[in-house]
Amino acid sequence: MAQTTGTIHGVGLGPGAQDLLSVRADRLVRNAKHVAFFRKAGRPGQARRIVNGMLADTAIEFPMEYPVTTEIPLTDPRYNQIMSAFYTDCTAHLRRLAEGGEDVVVLCEGDPFFYGSFMHLYTRLEPHVPVEVVPAITGMSGAWTATGAPITWGDDILTILMGTLDEDTLVHRMGQADALVVMKIGRNIDKVRSALKRAGKFEDAYLIEYAAMPNQNVQKLCEAEGKVTPYFSIIVVHGQGRRP
């Protein structure tokens, strides 16, 4: 009798609160035999932290520890080389499990197909073994909801930018936007502040840290001058478009 191939499930966990998981995500997480997740070396990992208390006692965990995060600039050719090898190794492990008939749940912060590391596994796994993706609430949705105001009105154009972009590109794109989300802030905060000022949007910007998590904090960016922001922080500028 032929062995059935297992399925890799990329499970979106949403912005950070267990009660914001979808019913499907909750079921998969609680019943998972094999659980994989990304984390920085020496850290528990945010995705793993979100599901604390949800995993079965018998679940077999596979932490995928990034070999580099900010130690090497993204523009350094070594960065892509190191990360490509890392994703290839992770893929090989997950593929072996699936080909051995095991289902695997890969925990994904936010939505798996929105700027997430899972995408790099998906493109390597999908041609060879069954892969299913469970969508989720994005971190940015949790962030703008935390401000208590709609992000877009009427015909507003929403622009999503990475703080890793160069300042001139940020300024150009910010100037074209009605509503704005800036992600991957961290050590890029001073550059993002400068770009927002040059684009005339600084006074309207909000900084949201740890959206939808117990330590969530929301404040106007202009009131957070000199503050060092955590990795889980997002800046939003609300649109003010057409409304009845």
Tens digit of each residue's pLDDT (9 = 90 or more) over 213-227: 888 999 999 998 777
Quickly state the pLDDT bin for 2 (edges 50, 70, 90): low
Residue 3: pLDDT band (50, 70, 90) is low
Question: What domains, with CATH codes, occur in the chain?
Answer: 8-137 (3.40.1010.10), 140-237 (3.30.950.10)
Query: Is the predicted pLDDT of residue 128 greater than 90, yes or no?
Result: yes
* pLDDT score at 166: 95
Cβ pair 50, 13 in contact under 8 A: yes
* Residue for token pair 């000199």: 226
- Could you tell me the end-to-end alpha-carbon distance of the chain, in angstroms, rounded to an integer? 64
pLDDT per position as a tens digit, 224-240: 877 777 777 999 999 99
pLDDT score for 42: 86
Rounded CA-CA distance 105/21 in Å is 14
Our measurement of the distance from residue 40's CA atom to the centroid of its chain's CA atoms, rounded to an integer in Å, reads 14
Q: Could you list the beta-strand ranges (E) of the chain.
A: 8-12, 34-40, 60-66, 104-108, 131-134, 158-162, 179-183, 205-209, 217-220, 233-237
Say what the pTM is. Answer: 0.91
Residue 232 is predicted with a pLDDT of: 77
Chain segment 88-114, per-residue pLDDT in tens: 999 999 999 999 999 999 999 999 999
Average pLDDT over all residues of the chain: 94
pLDDT over 90 at 72, yes or no: no
Task: Give the per-residue pLDDT at 24.
Answer: 98
What local confidence, expressed as pLDDT, does residue 220 receive? 96
Model confidence at 70: pLDDT above 90: no
Q: Using alpha carbons only, how large is the chain's radius of gyration in Å? A: 19
Q: Put residue 172 in one of left, alpha, beta given phi > 0 → left and psi -120 to 50 → alpha.
A: alpha
| Mean pLDDT of all residues in 149-166 | 96
pLDDT value of position 76: 82
